[in-house]
Amino acid sequence: MMTAVRQERWKATMPFEHRSQPLLPRPLFRRRVTRYAAIALCYVFGALAIGILGYHYFEKLSWLDSLLNASMILGGMGPVDPVRTVAGKIFASCYALFSGIVFLVAAGILFAPVIHRFLHRLHVEMGTEQKDAEG
């Protein structure tokens, strides 16, 4: 059995409710989804900033062209301006791979509360059906 201190530590590391707890009320769930969307957006903007700085530094593009190229790569469309330097080509290759990972991470962060709620609801419903069958 967990001590009170260990339970508090466990709650601090687990942002979702345990399967034995009831579903989170809708207003709190909306707040959770908003918080997770903000976190995902921070990841995307951070990755965009890395791309802007990289294109500006390695390819000597203007800030606006750097934004355009980084946005297009991050969105999965590909670069707009041709990459001319060796360092720029290495950066563009690494940034393209990095962008794919950022997309997957951001999608995971964004959908985690929704998927958790869906699975938690199924578990809660299954638990009530089992109690009805036993009782």
Structure letter (DSSP) for residue 83: P
Range of the domain at 86: 33-134
**Paired tokens of 128:** 């009530």
- Helix, strand and coil in the chain, % to nearest 5: 75, 0, 25
Residue 70 within any structural domain of the chain: yes
Q: What is the pLDDT of residue 6?
A: 65
Structure letter (DSSP) for residue 76: T
Each of the 135 residues of the chain gets a pLDDT tens digit; together they read: 556 666 666 555 557 777 778 888 899 889 999 999 999 999 999 999 999 999 999 999 999 999 999 999 999 898 899 999 999 999 999 999 999 999 999 999 999 999 988 988 887 666 666 665 665
Split into its structural domains, the chain has a count of 1
92: CATH: 1.10.287.70
Q: What is the pLDDT of residue 63?
A: 97
Residue 8 within any structural domain of the chain: no
Q: What is the pLDDT of residue 40?
A: 95
Residue 116 within any structural domain of the chain: yes
Q: Where does 59-85 have alpha helices with state H?
A: 63-74
Structure letter (DSSP) for residue 22: P
